[in-house]
Amino acid sequence: MLEAIFAPKSIAVIGASPDPTRLGHRVLKNIIDNGYQGAVFAVHPKAQAVLNRPTYSSILNIPEPVDLAVIVIPPQAVLAVVEECGKKGVKGLVVITAGFKEVGGAGKELERQLIALVAHYNMRMVGPNCLGIIDTTTHLNASFAALMPDPGQIAFMSQSGAICTAILDWSKSAEIGFSRFVSLGNKGDVDEVALLEEWGKDPENRVILAYLEGINDGPAFIRTARQVTKDTPVIAIKSGTTAAGTRAISSHTGSLAGSERAYEAAFNQSGIIRAQSMQELFDFALAFAYQPPLQGRRIAIVTNAGGPGIIATDAIERSGLTMAEFTAHTIAYLQEALPPTANVLNPIDVIGDAASDRYRVALKAALADPNVDAVLVLFTPQAGSEPEETANVIAELSADQLKPVLASYMGAVSLGPALTLLNKQRIPSYPFPERAVEALHAMANHYKRTQRIKGEYTTFEVDRDRVHHLFHEVRKAGRVELGEIEAREVMEAYGMRLPQSRLARSPDEAAAIAAEIGFPVVMKISSPDILHKSDIGGVKVGIADSTTARDTYELIEYRARKYSRDATIWGVLVQEQIRKGREVLVGVNRDPQFGPLVVFGLGGIYVEVLKDVAFRLAPLTRQEAAEQVRAIRTYALLKGVRGEPPADVAAAEEILLRVSQLVVDFPEIVEMDMNPLVVHNRGEGATVVDARIILQGG
Amino acid sequence: MLEAIFAPKSIAVIGASPDPTRLGHRVLKNIIDNGYQGAVFAVHPKAQAVLNRPTYSSILNIPEPVDLAVIVIPPQAVLAVVEECGKKGVKGLVVITAGFKEVGGAGKELERQLIALVAHYNMRMVGPNCLGIIDTTTHLNASFAALMPDPGQIAFMSQSGAICTAILDWSKSAEIGFSRFVSLGNKGDVDEVALLEEWGKDPENRVILAYLEGINDGPAFIRTARQVTKDTPVIAIKSGTTAAGTRAISSHTGSLAGSERAYEAAFNQSGIIRAQSMQELFDFALAFAYQPPLQGRRIAIVTNAGGPGIIATDAIERSGLTMAEFTAHTIAYLQEALPPTANVLNPIDVIGDAASDRYRVALKAALADPNVDAVLVLFTPQAGSEPEETANVIAELSADQLKPVLASYMGAVSLGPALTLLNKQRIPSYPFPERAVEALHAMANHYKRTQRIKGEYTTFEVDRDRVHHLFHEVRKAGRVELGEIEAREVMEAYGMRLPQSRLARSPDEAAAIAAEIGFPVVMKISSPDILHKSDIGGVKVGIADSTTARDTYELIEYRARKYSRDATIWGVLVQEQIRKGREVLVGVNRDPQFGPLVVFGLGGIYVEVLKDVAFRLAPLTRQEAAEQVRAIRTYALLKGVRGEPPADVAAAEEILLRVSQLVVDFPEIVEMDMNPLVVHNRGEGATVVDARIILQGG
């Protein structure tokens, strides 16, 4: 789909200046110098020739068809030129020119027009305001970058041009190669979603890296990433906080949520590996690009020194990976083949004077052991060491292996050629063992996620129409917040269990309803104008007989009036007093970027003081709901501690799924809280005690 | 004190072989080749000359005095040679020879004898089983390392020789210099404590780095480090878990504690910065070695690109540092001096086409701003950039500054000379901004700690003799665990408040005591043989009258008998039922390496499920006790949530200090739990409800 941009048959550089200091000149030179095989045309209004090739004053004058136009001209001239490109039948644009959205005001309007024009002619566009694009598979460098990256299997996109430049500069010395290298600029058309989709299809991209400052379309991003990450690891840095406006927050969930939480949930659910730093981005990239998937967590270490072995062991245990336990066969073999002073348990210590032969013995045995999922080879330069030979041994033994092999060659001055050898032979090597372990850890987590993401969304039979009608009525009445009875109705329509409950409009009616429901009951003021019922004494529990029910009605009504003379009072709600259970909070807050962010946590101080909550974005799969419930630190309290029976976790999960369905069905719900939802003992379900729903205003 | 080792007037290399492949030869060559100024003698039993200098068959034949002997001979010959060294009046030894403790068995015994001999002659010794020592201030390389480090102000010690080799190799290419570089080996005499003490005195060591696998003397380590870190930052990697035996653990505190927790507490309290990886060790070292202390947390950023600025801002906010807010003066100045498109708020963006002049303007203004504590300069190579010029500007402006300046030059191939310039001029530069921010974060934390560590230990007036006598009685009776009444007595002797309480030996006595104390009361079985009283129904609360007191006595007695026919039953304890408060756990577990490890946490599920506890090692300063209480996640619950009054935190702190005094006074206490200690509302103190004390067996 983006073929016209990454694999065009012909290119026009519009703004190809004869002045070598101009960007347009550099772009043309980059295209010519780096081995692009198609036709290249220079367009310039005045110049006769640039870099020894004739120029055209307009793209319309080029006699042959043009697939891709790279535009490097002043912003005010861009629209006219893009119009010409459209007429010429150009399919792809790379607009390097700056001066659009990023400068605000008129630039914003200019960009809007540019995007409209591109859409009108059915073209695709990278930019504006970018460094350009590079594709080493087609030898195309349509950028003004000072360097051409080495070919490789890492695809990289960045929203920052400077990051592109810096990474390119740094990667050349680290000998890291790329398949594609794209500066996204303002993302007027082609954005992270388009590239993910495109790159995910091509096995040449063994791993996709992204430096992102924002995401254009959150739900599309998740949908696409979920698909892509099944086959291709995607590693991203999300930097900066979203500028997307901050709505006034009135719900509990709202105060817990936030853009950072939404990104965390989005990356988690779509299987994206989030790098904590630029360093990690590339540390992980090498492991994924060079080595096969890590299908377990059991790591073997081969080392020629104790200290680094201990460091790596510590890092493995800290990260949640495990040290492999060798079979008796492996141990016996190693005892036979290595000198008596060697350590044959994990880490295998081949001892400081080891030449490459001992590494061969140890690595071979470790790779062959069925209890080993990956091998980390540590090397310190010592007397008798053979860094290059050992590198070749590692490469030879790990070739065509299904288990990843990573290395940490510790040192630098004496290791130069060995490091180059390792890199050439696709063995990721890290200067310190901890970084290798972090990469293994990322690989293990990614594999686990690829096994998980099946995207099975559950749908329950619900009464959608009833909710639709109700919302309509509420909005017709000029309200955005549902009253309690209305909120109950929504919950019921979506199959959630509520305490039996009816509205009483008089003391006598309260007594009658209570008798019918069965004592004890709970009584609550019912008014659209009173949000925090407890605070004004509008809730009473444990009402045990008819007389108290009558008295309570009057008391609550009196208090409500005292609180607000003008409040609409619908009456007093008489409710079944529900069985005890563990109180949890389930809520939803609509993130401006990603949509409904569902929160789960134990109620009371666990939420308020410990902020012990877990977020996921709706829609939720069954497995995601299960993971969400288990992601809180206090999950043990649901399982039951100190001899308590376990809570009905399955019921809590089902509620999360029903809520997910509700907020996906009704995008107008901007916030909702169920606080508390009481989760009863296993097999006894869960009951929604109190719920609030707030709809989009306007 | 270690002058004879690091600055000897003369050296003998014992085992200086003429064979260039032998370690003894390499050691001699390293001493001669690297500029050592004193006299150097070669000792070898048979050789005539080594490296063109005459050899002596024994150190005793050397006509001049010898300060330092470096020993590189087979292990079985070492004792005799050391004896000769002693007789010769040698003051320092570096024993490179391996084959001692590390091989176990006979080697262990050999090392014991070696240490005794060294002590007998009042010598000091590094090793055995080490790589040797290097001191660049005296140009002494008494090691068989293949490389001589550059001079610098970082002192490095390592328990692993391979780590020494790897670091040396790596540091040469990173152009990192060292003042001292020591391979500790088996630490037969000179250990981490001796080096800390020695190095802390010399301002040539601007920062001390340590790679440690274990610590010889925990309390001495803390004492020394506490002193040293006031002036000299110490950064350490502690790797591996301690081998120091695992006692059977019977207390609650014991199950929470562990060697890792003890190290964490020891490093924290002694002001040592713990690096999480080898990378961090050196990232931090450069910042401390090159730059002045960071006296606050407000960071300014100067950058020539937006992306890296955002990355650094994120990292700053994540780490708990803050982005500096410039004064109006600074902003006005920057607006005047920079182009209109520049961003003059923090981060200052001098824009991609900035030459060094704009960096000069921005850095100068940031350094001059009183709201700025440190500046981070970000540089990406772009058209028009002047990497070297900019490096010089940074160096010039930061010279003689009281505020640290760190850099992140992002890139590599085009930055080589600039990176060398930065390093030469003592500007730490990191390839990615996050690593620079981590270094700033470590600097800020270190400064805060240097301000804190005053080591004021509080002592309360207590009745030490009473406890001494009591412990004597308990041990005489062949017990290690105190009964409840005994534990109460200890608490009382150390000034802790307990509920009124007396032992009843009959139902009638129970009723009488209860009446005297005042109802309601709590009654508990009193028996040295019943540990978990509640589990057998041996505790009843809320006893409201005399009849119930009598009944309860019989019930509890019956249950205790049923549980164990042979248990010694002292009677039933009748206790004042204390005012409500927040229940906390205070306990002590004796760490084999560091001594009494004090734990604090909120009782019940907070400890049991959330493991929300904080550890410190006794003795505690007032400030450490205060920090310990505030270190738990649930501290907010002590401060009071949901309108509760605050708890008496000061009382909890005082209890920690009294407990600290108790366990320091009585090293025979191996474990104790106060669970619960009830902390009442502010001003009302705290009451120890239940306490257990276990003494050292044997």
| Close Cβ partners of A156 (under 8 Å, ≥ 6 residues apart) | A164, A167, A178, A180, A181, A182, A208, A209, A210, A211
Of the candidates B112, B108, B76, B72, the one whose C-alpha atom is nearest the C-alpha of residue B93 is B72
B242 pLDDT band (50/70/90 cuts)? very low
Report chain A residues whose CB lies below 8 A from the CB of B239. 307, 310-311, 314
Report CB contact under 8 Å: B169, A642: no
Residue A558 has pLDDT above 70, yes or no: yes
Residue of A278, A351, A637 to mutate, testing the B interface (most B Cβ within 10 Å of its Cβ): A278
Are both B10 and B121 inside the same structural domain? yes
Please indicate if any CB of chain B lies within 8 Å of the CB of A410.
yes
Residue A408 has pLDDT above 80, yes or no: yes
Report chain A residues whose CB lies below 8 A from the CB of B159. 307
List all residues of chain A from 286 to 325 with a beta carbon under 8 Å from chain B: 304-308, 310-311, 313-315
| Close Cβ partners of B562 (under 8 Å, ≥ 6 residues apart) | none
* C-alpha–C-alpha distance, residues A239 and B311, integer Å: 6
Query: A315 to chain B: nearest residue by CA?
Result: B277
Please indicate if any CB of chain B lies within 8 Å of the CB of A86.
no
Report chain A residues whose CB lies below 8 A from the CB of B415. 169
Report CB contact under 8 Å: B169, A381: yes
Q: What pLDDT score does B254 carry?
A: 53
Residue B642 has pLDDT above 80, yes or no: no
Are both A587 and A530 inside the same structural domain? no
Are both A657 and A561 inside the same structural domain? no
Across A258-272, A335-349, A612-626, B338-352, least confident range: A258-272
Please indicate if any CB of chain A lies within 8 Å of the CB of B187.
no
Please indicate if any CB of chain B lies within 8 Å of the CB of A170.
yes
> In which residue are the tokens 């910065």 written?
B273
Residue B249 has pLDDT above 60, yes or no: no
Residue among B160, B278, B415 minimizing CB distance to A305: B160
Q: What pLDDT score does A606 carry?
A: 80
What is the C-alpha radius of gyration for chain A, rounded to an integer number of angstroms?
Answer: 32
Residue of B237, B242, B279, B311 to mutate, testing the A interface (most A Cβ within 10 Å of its Cβ): B311
Residue A602 has pLDDT above 70, yes or no: yes
- Predicted TM-score (pTM) of this structure: 0.87
- Confirm whether B71 is domain-assigned: yes
Residue among B170, B278, B307 minimizing CB distance to A434: B278
Q: Which of A231-240, B82-91, B168-177, B314-323 is most confident?
A: B82-91
Q: What pLDDT score does B606 carry?
A: 80
Are both A75 and A54 inside the same structural domain? yes
Residue A453 has pLDDT above 70, yes or no: no
Q: What pLDDT score does B12 carry?
A: 97
| Close Cβ partners of B485 (under 8 Å, ≥ 6 residues apart) | B503, B526, B570, B573
Residue among A165, A310, A411 minimizing CB distance to B166: A411
> In which residue are the tokens 């660049």 written?
B136
Of the candidates A307, A520, A289, the one whose C-alpha atom is nearest the C-alpha of residue A423 is A289
- Confirm whether A245 is domain-assigned: no
> In which residue are the tokens 């009054």 written?
B645
Q: What pLDDT score does B245 carry?
A: 31
Q: What is the pLDDT of residues A178-212, one digit of tens each?
A: 999 999 999 999 999 999 999 999 999 999 999 99
Mean pLDDT confidence for B204-213: 94
Residue B250 has pLDDT above 50, yes or no: no
B410 pLDDT band (50/70/90 cuts)? very high
List all residues of chain B from 589 to 618 with a beta carbon under 8 Å from chain A: 605, 608-610
* C-alpha–C-alpha distance, residues A492 and A514, integer Å: 21
Give the residues across from A571 on adjacent strands: A526
Report CB contact under 8 Å: A239, B311: yes
Are both A563 and A622 inside the same structural domain? no
Are both B401 and B523 inside the same structural domain? no
- Confirm whether A468 is domain-assigned: no
Q: Closest Cα of chain B to A399: distance in Å?
A: 27
Residue among A144, A159, A279 minimizing CB distance to B432: A279
Report chain B residues whose CB lies below 8 A from the CB of A415. 169
Percent of chain B surpassing pLDDT 70: 97
Between the alpha carbon of residue B157 and those of residues A312, B164, B167, B273, the distances in Å are 19, 8, 11, 15
Please indicate if any CB of chain B lies within 8 Å of the CB of A646.
no
Query: Last residue of a domain, which of B224, B240, B256?
Result: B240
- Confirm whether A525 is domain-assigned: yes
Are both A192 and A211 inside the same structural domain? yes
Q: Closest Cα of chain B to A536: distance in Å?
A: 15
Other beta carbons less than 10 A from residue A532's beta carbon: 9
Query: Last residue of a domain, which of B431, B452, B473?
Result: B452
Q: What pLDDT score does A605 carry?
A: 77
Are both B177 and B96 inside the same structural domain? yes
Please indicate if any CB of chain A lies within 8 Å of the CB of B413.
yes
Q: What pLDDT score does A243 carry?
A: 36
Please indicate if any CB of chain B lies within 8 Å of the CB of A172.
yes
What is the C-alpha radius of gyration for chain B, rounded to an integer number of angstroms?
Answer: 32
Average pLDDT, chain A: 91
Task: Supply the CATH number for residue B560's domain.
Answer: 3.30.1490.20
Are both B154 and B228 inside the same structural domain? yes
Q: Closest Cα of chain A to B465: distance in Å?
A: 40
Q: What is the pLDDT of residues B24-53, one digit of tens each?
A: 999 999 999 999 999 999 999 998 999 999
Greater model confidence, A114 or B483: A114
Mean pLDDT confidence for A586-592: 91
Residue A255 has pLDDT above 70, yes or no: no
Q: Closest Cα of chain B to A507: distance in Å?
A: 32
Query: B240 to chain A: nearest residue by CA?
Result: A310
Report CB contact under 8 Å: B213, A307: yes
Query: B353 to chain A: nearest residue by CA?
Result: A162
Percent of chain A surpassing pLDDT 70: 97
- Confirm whether A279 is domain-assigned: no
Query: A167 to chain B: nearest residue by CA?
Result: B411
Q: What are phi and psi of A337, to 5 degrees?
A: -90, -20
Query: B102 to chain A: nearest residue by CA?
Result: A341
- Confirm whether A166 is domain-assigned: yes
Task: Supply the CATH number for residue A681's domain.
Answer: 3.30.470.20
A483 pLDDT band (50/70/90 cuts)? confident
Q: What pLDDT score does B454 carry?
A: 65
DSSP A415-434: THHHHHHHHHTT--B-SSHH
Residue A450 has pLDDT above 90, yes or no: no
Q: What pLDDT score does A547 carry?
A: 94
Q: What is the pLDDT of residues A118-170, one digit of tens each?
A: 999 999 999 999 999 999 999 999 999 988 999 999 999 999 998 999 999 98
Q: What pLDDT score does A559 carry?
A: 92
Are both A166 and A104 inside the same structural domain? yes
Percent of chain B surpassing pLDDT 90: 75
Domain range for B525: 464-576
Report CB contact under 8 Å: B313, A240: yes
B698 pLDDT band (50/70/90 cuts)? low
Q: What is the pLDDT of residues A632-651, one digit of tens each?
A: 988 988 998 877 899 999 99
Residue B20 has pLDDT above 50, yes or no: yes
Q: What pLDDT score does B133 carry?
A: 97
Average pLDDT, chain B: 91
Query: B279 to chain A: nearest residue by CA?
Result: A432
Q: What is the pLDDT of residues A525-543, one digit of tens each?
A: 998 888 778 888 899 999 9
Report chain A residues whose CB lies below 8 A from the CB of B167. 410
Helix axis angle for B464-476 and B484-493, nearest 10°, is 160
Task: Supply the CATH number for residue A436's domain.
Answer: 3.40.50.261
Are both B447 and B472 inside the same structural domain? no
Q: What pLDDT score does A530 carry?
A: 85
Residue among A144, A413, A435 minimizing CB distance to B172: A413
CA dihedral sign, ordered B428, B433, B437, B442: negative
Q: Closest Cα of chain A to B504: distance in Å?
A: 31
Q: Closest Cα of chain A to B572: distance in Å?
A: 26
Other beta carbons less than 10 A from residue A562's beta carbon: 10
Report CB contact under 8 Å: A163, B434: no
Greater model confidence, B238 or A188: A188
Residue B255 has pLDDT above 60, yes or no: no
List all residues of chain B from 236 to 255 with a beta carbon under 8 Å from chain A: 237, 239-240
Q: What is the pLDDT of residues B168-177, one digit of tens each?
A: 998 988 889 9
Which residue intervals of A92-234 are DSSP H helices?
106-120, 161-174, 192-200, 218-231
B238 pLDDT band (50/70/90 cuts)? confident
Residue among A314, A410, A412 minimizing CB distance to B172: A412
Q: What is the pLDDT of residues A605-615, one digit of tens each?
A: 788 778 889 99
Angle, CA of A588, A592 and A595, to the nearest 5°: 45
Residue B251 has pLDDT above 70, yes or no: no
Q: Please report the ipTM that was assigned to this predicted complex.
A: 0.84
Q: What pLDDT score does B243 carry?
A: 36
Q: What is the pLDDT of residues B562-608, one digit of tens each?
A: 888 888 999 999 998 888 899 999 999 998 889 999 999 998 778 87
Q: Closest Cα of chain A to B131: distance in Å?
A: 11
Domain tally, chain B = 4
Please indicate if any CB of chain A lies within 8 Å of the CB of B380.
yes
- Confirm whether A657 is domain-assigned: yes
Report CB contact under 8 Å: B278, A160: no
Report CB contact under 8 Å: A380, B163: yes
Q: What is the pLDDT of residues A1-45, one digit of tens each?
A: 799 999 999 999 999 999 998 999 999 999 999 999 999 999 999
Please indicate if any CB of chain A lies within 8 Å of the CB of B173.
yes
Give the residues across from B374 on adjacent strands: B299
Q: What pLDDT score does A455 carry?
A: 64
- Confirm whether B386 is domain-assigned: yes
Please indicate if any CB of chain B lies within 8 Å of the CB of A340.
no
Are both B63 and B130 inside the same structural domain? yes
Q: Closest Cα of chain B to A212: distance in Å?
A: 9
Query: Last residue of a domain, which of A556, A577, A598?
Result: A577
Q: What is the pLDDT of residues A65-113, one digit of tens each?
A: 999 999 999 999 999 999 999 999 999 999 999 999 988 889 999 999 9
Residue among B174, B211, B382 minimizing CB distance to A165: B382
Of the candidates A273, A272, A32, A264, the one whose C-alpha atom is nearest the C-alpha of residue A148 is A32
Please indicate if any CB of chain B lies within 8 Å of the CB of A79.
no
